[in-house]
Chain A
Amino acid sequence: MKVIVLLDQMQAGLGGKEKANTPLGGKKLAMGAADTYDKVLKKNGSEVMGTFYCGTDYYQGNKAEVQRKVTKMCEKMQADVVIAGPTYDYPEFATMACELADQLQKETAIPVVVSIAIEKNQTLIEDYQKLLTIVKMPKKGGTGLSDSIDRTIELCQLKVEQADITEFAQQYCY
């Protein structure tokens, strides 16, 4: 399973809020939080094929362009599945993750998994929970991070295998 991970500047290891103007970019590597997914993926012979990052302010100012480029690049790189997150309770990143995931789902056949904490994102989740499969995760500093990482990967696997995700979604998604 070849996975692309979408991150903001903070989770990609490119600085904090002051770097929110980081333009869309990517590396064919597991950067920052993607490395945590990569460690779990490698146990099952899968891997992160690329990390896409975008500063949250940059995204807000260039939504259409970022959405188009991310969609095209995911298709070009022939990813099996895309993970948007982990966003924790950062609302700006959570918004970006949901919007990009929604666009990807509409425009491509690539399955998408989103991972968001409910804190500060209640309305966003209500808006997107019927459209996307959003795995529950803890807020920054909350308990249960490791489990949520495992579940995100599990859902990726289920989606790639086109298995029934109803039961999984009921238990672990919003």
Chain B
Amino acid sequence: MQKKLEQILMPFAIKLGNNVVLRSLRDGFLIITPLIIVTSIFLLIGNFPIPGWAEFWSHILGPDWTEWFSAVSNSVFSFTGLLACFGISYAYGKNRGLQAIHSSAVAIISFLILTPTVVTVGKQSIGAVQTMYLGPNGIFLGIFIALVSVEIYRFAINRNWRIKMPEGVPPAVSESFDALLPSGLVVLVFFLIRIGFSLSSFETAYNFIYTMLQAPLKGAGNSLPSVLLYNFIAMLLWCFGINGPTITNSVWSPIFFVLTQDNLTAFQNHLPLPHIYTQQFIDIFTTYGGGGSTLSLLIVMLTVCKSKRVKELGKLAIVPGIFGINEPIIFGLPVVLNPIIAIPFIIVPVLNTLISGLVFSIGLVPYTNGVMLPWTTPPIISGWLSTGSWTGSVLQLFELILGVLIYYPFIKMMDRQYLAEETEAAQLADVDINFDEV
């Protein structure tokens, strides 16, 4: 059964994992993730979920203090479309064997070519760029431009359309001339694309991509079945030793990214939060202590199990587990290729997803604010910080306990087996190998 399932899953996982476009999307978002985490902290300080927080600091620091913090958070959150274009073009160029920095440069220029640069204020037109085009609503346009511009650039490079410089010219100069014709081709194509859209009813590429791609994909991704499928596949793959989220993120990450940024923008502007299924929902309300929600498993191992091996591992892995690190248990228990643990390892996160989805839908917990917390933030605290409400922490606690109950019979089965082995070994001889004897 396990072998058969693996035979079906493996080609699918390999295909997704090796697909250069999907890999570049995932890697590209990872490039900008540290910036998002750092600026999120500034955003959180400016909007800390404690009543009277803003007023308290206004008395001390003056009424403009939140602007100091929003200047930092805006530097990333108002430009996520442009940043996504930068990160993805860099990763895609690198994965395609091109000079990554040149790939990024042509992609950014292409993005700017397609961006409207005139704003009408009253009867007057002024030269300006609206952050609306560069922020969350421009993410899919950024992705599209990154891939297309790098592909055109590669087309020219592969055909060796370069200006050859004589020998003796410094490499930096000759590299710059190498990029001249390919960059020119990219610029020409995007020049024509811009003209094409300006003649159509969409007027801009932004309007076209947003209406035709971003809005429908966002709608499809922002649903309970989509998120259930995401977690099911991710956990199933882990059971075969494959890093499941790496595979599933290559498909879902652009959608989650957009949904998260929408909530973040609303949070920043004190507007109602629009979406349930954000990256925070996935990270903070579906798994606790890493993939498989193994913090629940660790609690059972530590409190109920009797086998020395299981108990010891529980003791050693609980602290890292609280902070979301579950490598010791994934490989040490092990979870990989372990059909007994595979069952709760899949059920618990999927059930958590279902419960959290329903709880958020009926409004028992406020939607997540989109603030990206460091992934090591422990549950209970993360539930409160991401929703600004204690009910978020209660939901986490409930699901942690539920996970304990689901993991219990399965780990007990393993525990009994291990205990029997340990007892048998202890009867035969001393189970510990004494290296001092040799």
What residues of chain A have their CB less than 8 Å away from a CB belonging to chain B?
10-16, 18-19, 24-33, 35-36, 50, 52, 68-69, 72-73, 76-77, 88, 138, 140-146, 149
In the assembled complex, the CB of A43 is this many whole angstroms from the nearest CB of chain B, namely 12
The answer on a CB contact under 8 Å between B325 and A142 is no
The answer on a CB contact under 8 Å between A143 and B435 is no
The answer on a CB contact under 8 Å between A76 and B328 is no
Task: Pick the interface stretch among B80-88, B171-179, B424-432.
Answer: B424-432
Q: Which DSSP category, helix, strand, loop or mixed, fits chain B's interface?
A: helix
The answer on a CB contact under 8 Å between A16 and B327 is yes
Number of residues in B with C-beta < 8 Å to the partner? 40
In the assembled complex, the CB of A90 is this many whole angstroms from the nearest CB of chain B, namely 9
In the assembled complex, the CB of B340 is this many whole angstroms from the nearest CB of chain A, namely 11
Q: Determine the distance from Cα of A77 to Cα of B337 in the docked complex, in whole angstroms.
A: 28
With A28-B433, A32-B333 already in contact, the answer to whether A13 and B438 are too (CB < 8 A) is no
The answer on a CB contact under 8 Å between A13 and B320 is no
The answer on a CB contact under 8 Å between B241 and A146 is yes
With A16-B320, A36-B336, A50-B433 already in contact, the answer to whether A10 and B243 are too (CB < 8 A) is no
Q: Determine the distance from Cα of A18 to Cα of B317 in the docked complex, in whole angstroms.
A: 10
The answer on a CB contact under 8 Å between B317 and A15 is yes
With A13-B334, A28-B431, A69-B438 already in contact, the answer to whether A146 and B240 are too (CB < 8 A) is yes
Chain A residues closer than 8 Å to B437, beta-carbon distance? 73, 76
The answer on a CB contact under 8 Å between A145 and B241 is yes
- Number of A-B contacts defined by CB within 8 Å: 119
Chain A residues closer than 8 Å to B328, beta-carbon distance? 10, 13-16
The contact string, 1 if C-beta is below 8 Å from chain A, for chain B 1-28, is 0110010001001100100000000000
Q: Determine the distance from Cα of A13 to Cα of B331 in the docked complex, in whole angstroms.
A: 7
Q: Determine the distance from Cα of A29 to Cα of B75 in the docked complex, in whole angstroms.
A: 56
With A13-B332, A27-B431, A28-B433 already in contact, the answer to whether A143 and B13 are too (CB < 8 A) is yes
Query: Within 8 Å of chain A (Cβ to Cβ): is B67?
Result: no
Among residues of B, the one whose C-beta sits closest to the C-beta of A23 is B435
Query: Within 8 Å of chain A (Cβ to Cβ): is B47?
Result: no
The answer on a CB contact under 8 Å between A143 and B10 is yes
With A27-B431, A29-B431, A141-B246 already in contact, the answer to whether A14 and B334 are too (CB < 8 A) is no
Among residues of B, the one whose C-beta sits closest to the C-beta of A145 is B241
Task: Pick the interface stretch among B133-141, B308-316, B399-407.
Answer: B308-316
The answer on a CB contact under 8 Å between B433 and A52 is yes
Among residues of B, the one whose C-beta sits closest to the C-beta of A31 is B309
Chain A residues closer than 8 Å to B10, beta-carbon distance? 143-144
Q: Determine the distance from Cα of A24 to Cα of B433 in the docked complex, in whole angstroms.
A: 10
Q: Determine the distance from Cα of A18 to Cα of B321 in the docked complex, in whole angstroms.
A: 13
Chain B residues closer than 8 Å to A27, beta-carbon distance? 425, 431-433
With A52-B433, A141-B241, A146-B241 already in contact, the answer to whether A11 and B332 are too (CB < 8 A) is yes
- Offer 8 A-B interface pairs, CB within 8 angstroms, sorted by A: A13-B331, A15-B316, A16-B317, A29-B421, A73-B437, A88-B331, A143-B13, A146-B6
Q: Determine the distance from Cα of A11 to Cα of B17 in the docked complex, in whole angstroms.
A: 25
Contact of B429 among A28, A52, A72 (CB under 8 A): A28
